[in-house]
Structure 1
Amino acid sequence: MRYASITSRLADLGSGKWSLHIRARQLKASGANVIELTIGEPDLPPDRALLDECQRAMDTGRYRYSNGRGEPAVLAALAEKYRRRRADVTKENVLCFPGTQTALFAVMLGLAEAGDGVVVGDPLYATYEGVIRATGAHPVFVPLRPSSGFRMRAEDLESVVTPECRVLLLNTPHNPTGAVLTAAEIAAIGKVARRHDLWIVCDEVYEELVFGGTFASPFDNPDLAERTVVVSSISKSHAAPGFRSGWAVGPAEFTRRLLPVSETMLFGQQPFIADMTAYALTHDIDTARQMREAYSRRAGLIVDSLACAAGVKVLRPEAGMFALIDVSDTGLSGEAFAWTLLEEEGVAAMPGSSFGRQAEGFLRVSLTVPDQDIDEACRRIAATAERCLRRKERCA
């Protein structure tokens, strides 16, 4: 039987990247003592008021068909949120989707096609390559270097852009590194995008989880307004990943053109979830502050706990739910170290290779577990690194 080419393009870009996480879940289900540091699933529940609003909406019949763009209340709330960042935003600039991932898929489908290049930093979130290749386009990687704090540099971007490039996919704050672009860095990147007539798609799902300093976005730069699309959701900001409530915000012509694509895929968000999202965006919910404090503290715990451990170096994140640990001095790749850590110590951490070539010598560890689990995981990571170093010395 014949299959569409998309099934081949995405064959190795789905759950295969999460094979260690899947194995860890299997071990936990069988009763093994596994500390799970693999995925960015908030350890706080959503605020009770959000759950009450969702229930209220269902109780009053808000479970019928929606429309393709989004429910009026959530469109108004999103327009107001982004109007605080740029005065010209209206509901015509907004499209609602079930989560950031769906928004990103639809946006990329509307901007890139076969033969096009989509420029993206390496390391990158694990689904980005699949989202790009699903359109028939191909990724063009910009190395994000540890020496530059894993921030994209305008000169590195300039060096990889080719005539077929159509889109620049940014992520700030960045997953997996926790790097946050400054306004000056974005302005320099934007000049390159303007020179090569690139769309800028910016994934800002960690916007409210910056530990210190100021969040900056190409969306807020008037010189980039005509070419910038933001995707985001309440998954991280409000600890509500399972509700799948996201959006895209961009030029009015862009949303008008993308609307039929969205309607063909989805035709609307669940009204009761839209009502909960509107409530989240228009009320003072404390969840993001609690998570910022917890994740920043836990990042500090990892830095302190592994400061004297041989063979590992922690890169302290500036935002988000993750920290990177450089394990290259142990003589193992991040992939090999991650599997050794799981098999010998029962700690599940994502291999850096799941996020690109530039992260191959790293582990990505989640900050979304209790402090005592962070401490214990660090003890086990240090023990694994020490054993690996001894094995390396014996083989030298």
Structure 2
Amino acid sequence: MSRLGTETAFEVLAKAQKLEAQGKNIIHLEIGEPDFDTPENIVSAGQQALQDGFTSYNPSPGYGDLRDIVANEISKSRGIEASGENIVITPGGKPIMFFVIMALIERGDEVLYPNPGFPIYESMIEFCGGTAVPMKLHGDKDFNINVEEVRNQITPNTKLMIINSPNNPCGSVIGLEELEELALLAKENDILVLSDEIYIRFLYEGSHQSIAALPGMMDRTIILDGFSKTYAMTGWRIGYGLFPEELVEPVSRLVTNSVSCTASFTQIAAAEALVGSQDRPSAMVEEFKKRRDIVVAGLNSIEGIKCATPKGAFYAFPNIDGTGMSSAEFSNRLLEEAGVAVLAGESFGKYGAGYIRLSFANSTENLQEAISRIKQFLESNYS
């Protein structure tokens, strides 16, 4: 268990809630969760499924109907030909990460992963006995990688490359040219790719490019996606992966051995999410774009803070070096003294030093108040 990490957002949330219990007003910008309710058509489908008796076990890889619906959605959104036979439904997106790493990585194998990046990548790699090799996302390159650096990190032990676009925590997007270069590295070195695409619908400019759509990559790419972010279904716990044929059975066996299956009624609701009206999810994305602009402009108006404009997801990742504080000191004091909960950049890896992450999954009023509090916090410390 000493090799298993955690997700700091939940630790900060617990600390913030403890302060709230003591009567302190807290603005929550630490947790990556849409502040919208699950759309009513999805809730109704889930309720009806319960009433119709969808409360029993189902096949470990998921219901065939939902797998086909997911494959159709992936085919349309990525421009590839996906089959339901290659889909595995899981209780959330994290199991896809865990099962892929468990299925592929032996002790001594190396896994490339983005840093700053979602902390569970590194945690799961190390827990499974692999060696986590961070691909640095450069702040001066809009938080993109240097392909030559990645090339030099590859060894005969490199078995898997994890990419995440749009990225958590940086909001960066991997461009087509970089994707093509990464695909070439994967093919030249016989590396499989886990492409975490959970935020593809939270893209504020341009269109999504999946590495799976590039020549020769369909058979060496696992796509991770789910419902938590797009459909505000974080508590429903349902996600999915598109796998090369040879990985479907091993991953399905891992599902059988761990969770048996994903809740039946949840799968019925997920099917409605994909085939039903997309008006609410689209409206959510538009609202997040407005909030992004408010947050970025507000942060850049504060002396000592510089914030790049995220192209996707719902996070800002500003540099706070100009404040003279470390990321940990800044985030801790901001919570305790100003009542604004954010995450230190190091929560997302060593290359997050000097940054903090703010989720703009909160109301416009709260975001504006948070900017005001941050400004007052710094002014009170440097006036």
Q: Does TM, scored on the shorter chain, surpass 0.5? A: yes
The separation in 1 between residues aligned to 2:152 and 2:360, in whole angstroms, is 34
Match of 1:216 in 2: 209
* Residues 327 and 387 of structure 1, relative CA distance in 2, 3 Å threshold: farther
Q: Which of the residues 312, 320, 325 maps onto 2:305?
A: 312
Equivalent position amino acid for 1:133 in 2? E
Which whole-Å deviations, capped at 9, do the CAs of 1:2-39 have from their partners, x for residues lacking one?
xxxxx1211xx125664333211211233210111001
**2:202 and 2:285 in contact (8 A); partners too:** yes
- TM-score, normalized by length of structure 1? 0.93
**2:7 and 2:120 in contact (8 A); partners too:** no
Match of 2:285 in 1: 292
Q: Are 2:82 and 1:80 equivalent residues in the alignment?
A: no
Q: How many residues align?
A: 382
Q: Are 2:144 and 1:151 equivalent residues in the alignment?
A: yes
Q: Which of the residues 154, 157, 160 maps onto 2:153?
A: 160
Percent identical among aligned pairs is: 28
Match of 1:30 in 2: 22
Equivalent position amino acid for 1:113 in 2? E
TM-fit CA distance, 1:257: 2.9
**2:220 and 2:244 in contact (8 A); partners too:** yes
Which whole-Å deviations, capped at 9, do the CAs of 1:27-71 have from their partners, x for residues lacking one?
123321011100111111111000000011110101111111101
Match of 2:3 in 1: 9
The separation in 2 between residues aligned to 1:285 and 1:305, in whole angstroms, is 31
Q: Are 2:273 and 1:273 equivalent residues in the alignment?
A: no
Equivalent position amino acid for 2:68 in 1? A
Q: Which of the residues 18, 30, 48 maps onto 2:40?
A: 48
Q: Are 2:84 and 1:91 equivalent residues in the alignment?
A: yes
* Residues 38 and 252 of structure 1, relative CA distance in 2, 3 Å threshold: same
**2:9 and 2:343 in contact (8 A); partners too:** no
Equivalent position amino acid for 2:113 in 1? V
TM-fit CA distance, 1:326: 1.1
5+ unaligned residues in a row in structure 1: which ranges? 1-6, 391-396
The separation in 2 between residues aligned to 1:183 and 1:288, in whole angstroms, is 26
TM-fit CA distance, 1:219: 1.5
Match of 1:111 in 2: 104
Q: Secondary structure of 1:313's partner?
A: coil
**1:66 and 1:271 in contact (8 A); partners too:** yes
**2:8 and 2:343 in contact (8 A); partners too:** no
Q: Are 2:221 and 1:228 equivalent residues in the alignment?
A: yes
The separation in 2 between residues aligned to 1:334 and 1:102, in whole angstroms, is 30
The separation in 2 between residues aligned to 1:87 and 1:357, in whole angstroms, is 35
**1:73 and 1:275 in contact (8 A); partners too:** no
The separation in 1 between residues aligned to 2:241 and 2:361, in whole angstroms, is 26
The separation in 1 between residues aligned to 2:10 and 2:132, in whole angstroms, is 20
- TM-score, normalized by length of structure 2? 0.96
**1:83 and 1:89 in contact (8 A); partners too:** yes
Equivalent position amino acid for 1:161 in 2? I
Match of 1:4 in 2: none
Which whole-Å deviations, capped at 9, do the CAs of 1:200-244 have from their partners, x for residues lacking one?
001111011101111111122232111100111100011111001
Between stretches 228-237 and 153-162, larger displacement belongs to 153-162
The separation in 1 between residues aligned to 2:12 and 2:249, in whole angstroms, is 41
Q: Are 2:163 and 1:191 equivalent residues in the alignment?
A: no
Structure 1 runs of 4+ off > 6 angstroms?
none
**2:41 and 2:276 in contact (8 A); partners too:** no
Equivalent position amino acid for 1:311 in 2? G
Between stretches 51-60 and 220-229, larger displacement belongs to 220-229
* Residues 96 and 159 of structure 1, relative CA distance in 2, 3 Å threshold: same
TM-fit CA distance, 1:153: 3.0
CA RMSD of aligned residues (A): 1.5
Q: Secondary structure of 1:170's partner?
A: strand
